[in-house]
Amino acid sequence: MTPTEVVEEWVRRFNAADADGLAELYRDDAINHQVTQQPVEGRAAIQAMFQREFANADMTCIVEAIHDAGDVAILEWRDPLGLRGCGFFTVQDGRIAFQRGYWDKLSFLKMHGLPIE
């Protein structure tokens, strides 16, 4: 899959709250760094992160745009509550090797009635 196709599939699985399916899109040694949190390293840890997040909040990713830049796909997104963000996905051999996401954690916590950490 191309980086854009990987991100399109990532969005599909994210919107299905499919932590196991999302994990399959990552390399074993992948890093997911949401800048509001510490980096998560390894496919199993990334899978566990998604399981926790899906248990805490009902999340939907609405694609605004996907930009392709070689082995990197950039996802601009929003959710139904008005939160916006972007993610950068480095894809190697059809799997995500590195992901970095930018979004407003305080707004997210407030929108979902979660405790402010």
Whether 46 is covered by a domain: the verdict is yes
Whether 68 is covered by a domain: the verdict is yes
Number of domains in the chain: 1
Whether 26 is covered by a domain: the verdict is yes
Whether 116 is covered by a domain: the verdict is no
Task: Give percent of the chain above pLDDT 70.
Answer: 91
Strand partners, 62: 78
Q: Which domain holds residue 73?
A: 3-111
For the residues 61-88, what does the mean pLDDT come to? Answer: 94
CA–CA gap between residue 21 and residue 19 (Å, rounded): 5
Token pair 């796909």: residue? 73
Whether 38 is covered by a domain: the verdict is yes
Quote the mean pLDDT of the chain. Answer: 92
How many residues are present in the chain? 117
pLDDT of 59 strictly over 80: yes
Q: Range with the lowest mean pLDDT among 37-46, 79-88, 99-108?
A: 99-108
Whether 117 is covered by a domain: the verdict is no
Which CATH number is 63's domain given?
3.10.450.50
Q: What is the pTM of this model?
A: 0.89
Whether 43 is covered by a domain: the verdict is yes
Output the pLDDT for position 105.
63
